[in-house]
A and B are shown apart, each in its own frame.
Chain A
Amino acid sequence: MNRIVILGAMTAAGLSAGVASAATLDDVKARGTLNCGVTTGLVGFAAPNANGEWEGFDVGVCRAVAAAVLGDPTAVEFVPTTGKTRFTALASGEIDLLARNTTWTFSRDVDLGFEFVGINYYDGQGFMIPKELGVSSAKELDGATVCIQTGTTTELNLADYFRKNNISYEPVPIETNAEAQPLYLEGACDVYTTDASGLAATRAAFENPGDHVVLPEIISKEPLGPLVRHGDNEWGDIARWTLNALIAAEELGVTSANIDELASGTNSPEINRLLGTEGTLGEMLGLDADWAVRAIKAGGNYGELFEKNIGENTPIGLARGLNAQWTEGGLLYSPPFR
């Protein structure tokens, strides 16, 4: 009995350590670095490069927030998290921001006590299968062995999809994307399922990407976005509007190349408000006037981040699709900077 009490109390003490502090902004400033939760490694989204520096699409969001708040895009402490550990890490205060292709769902937002600050990638769950098996549709997967990352929404979607279509499957739960690759390549599972963007990134890392096909079915909506803890709205606002600034910058034609020129003043009031030469938006956030300039300079606007990390000219080769600006038929739509 004693052991339960001790361990329980230790759990409690561990949980309580970080929760109480409401002013994340002050903590981050005092610490001088932003603790940002990312994946344990998914090429294009968040993975260390040959020099050991983290880079990727989600990493770009972390760097933009760090640049806006601390003035230094490299002042980020990256904390690799798995699908299982990410929410505990955020809830306990180990990380200030979670940018780890996490799906925005009702229960995560409401019940788990998190606040999604926006969507940086509109995704959906897909299937990847070796070409030699000759499967052309997910409906033909009856009896297949499916590798799946545990602790994700994909696990639930998969169960729903196979039940709805009345076909059977054998789930093989794995913890990280890296563990799934050898299992899939050795043939211990027939199919690998995760978000379509993740499949593209995983396939790009294969020796012969051409031997594998991604099936046409997209079985779920997976709006991926960064999130923070409930209860600190000022910090949530900073993260939300930093992401919006990146999206708005692309819409307004502000890039890392022309931003220095534009930051000295333009004829467009909206660009001026975004870049701080007009109005007091930065002050309202509790930051200085140049916050958005630094955020955009960190890695470029949304479009630049996309093209550099996961766009069509990278090995991952994702098309903009739903992630184009609303003016170009996509879903990206930043509220106005006013």
Chain B
Amino acid sequence: MPIGLSYITFQSVSYKTEIYRKHIAAERDIGIYALFLMLFTKVIAGPIERVQNLIPQFRIRHNFDFTLFKAGMMQIAFGFFKKVVIADRLGIVVDKVYQNPLAHNGTELIIASLFYSFQVYCDFSGYTDIALGVSKIIGINLTDNFNKPYFSKSISEFWKRWHISLSYWLRDYIFLPISYRLSRKWKEERYLFVRTEKWIYFSAIVVTFLICGFWHGSAWHYVVWGLLFAVYLSFSIATLSYRRKFYKRIKLTNYPRFFSATKLITTFLLVTFTWIFFRAESIGQGCYIVKKITSISVNDTLRLPLNYTEMAFSFLLILILIVKEKFFYLIQTSNTPKWFLIIVLLSLSCYFFGIFIMKQFIYFQF
């Protein structure tokens, strides 16, 4: 597949739709248009930029800005850290287990699936950090694709924080047009005792996530992955009022911190469940893994490709990632010596603890 085909296509669709909707005027400079589609920092795996954000930036003269340079370098360093130290290390376990799930027990499959949740996040957000960092150095601000997605307390919130440029693209060019179209067609207040607006939401969300699944790959397990999110979101809307009543009845709302943590963990586990089908090579394999996970036992032995020290180190890295995202999401770069020290430390960590096995970024295939 040609490099960045899907990203270029999505941007082209966005560009043409925005012109059709008369939100923007057509770009008359082919160079600017080509740059919009193929800016080297984002051509391979996004973010999927909007014309309104990017093209005006091409018309400004960008002089070297040391503040932007420092911020960009910091983002690049963290991007590499996420990719080579965390994602590729967790990937060793994930690849080994998912290559042959028959040879692994429930505990190993659970660990591999949990690791995959963090691998895919560190891999993709690591790439995005590098892309955004490089862009920043040359004075271009790209859309941030991630905003602490594993701190989401609901699936809808997760999609506002995960692959943001894609989810907003899907919302604006698929979900909303379908919803408007259906709302004009379905005139009744209720169908089968369910309010029409809910039917519209269910239909639009299923189509949107079907397309989202197919966009990730022409294999049915990606479709299942997308449909699972559609089911989660539909279920969430359908049961919203009942759940609220239920939470009140069991007095969960009286403990806001505990309630919040429960929602966060539930969301994370639901997302991790979908990643099983995303990572599996087929629906059958995904179902097998889910089935095997339920057979988890205290007698399970671990035969993973990392030794115990490295397994502990991997969990420590995940913890570091969580703490960093929670408390130090944006590192200040105004203090130059401090900035330099952090860059040096990150570079040394990447060098000494990085896994350099020429492993491609996961989202390069999409």
Chain B binds chain A: no
Q: Which chain B residues have a beta carbon within 8 Å of chain A's beta carbons? A: none
